Every structure is written in structure tokens, then in C-alpha cells.
Amino acid sequence: MPISNVPAAATLDDAPLISRLLARAFGDDPMMRLFFPDDGTREKGMDRYFATIFTRQYGLHGVCERTDAAAAFWVPAEAQDKAVPDAGTIQQLVDILGEQATLFRDTVEQAAKHAPQEPHWSLAVIGADPAARGQGHGAALLRSGLAKADAAGLPTYLESSKPSNIPFYARFGFTVREELRLAENGPVLWTMLREPRRSTEA
């Protein structure tokens, strides 16, 4: 059966598919490897992590899209204050992260201080199953979300700890704002921003 890379709205019923493919997508991500250091339990832990933030956070207050092998979670400007974990979500994340929960909390809080203060869209999560990389899934999801941000006339912000992603995002107009090291001996986190484009721009 052909694997479609056409973006579609993700529903909460898609959680099992989305969490599994994102767990595979982020298996080599430096920041996620910091939070899930055990090779034997990493994928299972990340599966639970992505299921939790999708069903309790971004799936309720964000714009979530998927293809057959990738998913993206966006947060529009008007939802920035809503798309944050509530007490129940935080407790679930603590249970999932175990001994790394404090490190995760501190890192997320530090990163949040570097986000733009002006209204913007955020690309919270994007990932493709490694088995389908190179088939245009991530690019299709990026174009779809960026078109929505452009329609709103707002910039788009993201963070990445994977160096190989930087040129990929640059092709879509993102530029590096800062290079941060938020955890002792942790990976570098790049913050990136893309200004909105008019419909006549490439």
C-alpha cells in the first residue's frame, strides 16, 4: 500500500500511530536521548511521552497534522498560553521521565525564557519515521503549517538539538537566533525563527 505524504488533521484517535512514529523519529535526537538515557527503554518511554503531550496538550490546543509516516504539532499565537501542561499532565510526565524529570523541567523552563516575546506560531514537534525519511513527509508538514502562520502574518519559532536539521529548516526560511546549552554536559539547542511570507513569495 502506498505511503501518503499528504498532510491531514490529526485526531486524538491517531495517538497510537503518532506516538509510535515520533518515538522512532526522535530515537537519535540528542535532547531526547538526554531525557531518556537508557537504550533499552528509550523508545517505550518516548512513545508514552509523545502520547501524553499529544492527547493532553497539543491535540487539545494546538494544530496537529500527520501523514502516514510523520507528525507535526504547531501552536498558534492565540494558543500559546493554553498549550502548556496542566497539573495532571505534569504528573504523567514525571512518572514517564522518572529520575530525569527534574532535568526535563529545568531544561524546558530555561528554553522557554528564550522564546520570542512577540506574537508567533511555534513548531513544537515534527518528526518522520526513519524508514520513510527522504519521501517528503516532513517537508509536506512544514509547508502546511508555515502556510497557516503566513496566513496569520506571524513569524514561526522552533528549537532543535539535532545539527543535521539546521540546514533543512534553513531551506524553509528559518534562521538561527541562538545556540544554547541548557543542561550541564547536555547538547546544544538551536533556536530558529522564520519571518512570515506573503503569498507571492517563494
Residue 49 belongs to a domain: yes
Q: Please, where are the H alpha helices in the chain?
A: 15-25, 30-35, 42-53, 59-61, 87-97, 101-112, 137-152, 165-170
Strands 63-66 and 70-75: antiparallel
Place of cell 493554553: 82
Helix (H) or strand (E) holding 194: strand 189-194
Q: Residue 76: which of 168, 167, 146, 141 has the closest Cα?
A: 146
Q: What is the CATH number of the domain that holds 92?
A: 3.40.630.30
Strand partners, 159: 191
Full residue range of the structural domain in which residue 128 is found: 8-194
Q: Evaluate whether residue 201 is within a structural domain.
A: no
Give me the mean pLDDT over the 8-37 stretch.
96
202 located within any domain: no
**Averaged pLDDT, 67-94:** 94
Is residue 173 domain-resident?
A: yes
CB proximity list for 60: less than 8 A, separation 6 or greater: 82, 83
Q: What is the pLDDT of residues 112-134, one digit of tens each?
A: 999 999 999 999 999 999 999 88
The whole-angstrom separation of Cα 60 and Cα 23 is 20
124 in a domain, yes or no? yes
In a domain, 2, yes or no: no
- Give mean pLDDT, residues 171-184: 93
Q: What cell was used for 36? A: 531518556
Burial of 49 per CB tally in 10 Å (0-12, 13-18, 19+): buried
How many domains would you assign to the chain? 1
For residue 148, is pLDDT > 90?
yes
pLDDT band at 200 (very low <50, low <70, confident <90, very high): low
Q: Is residue 158 situated within a structural domain? A: yes
Residue 53 belongs to some domain of the structure: yes
Cell, residue 43: 523508545
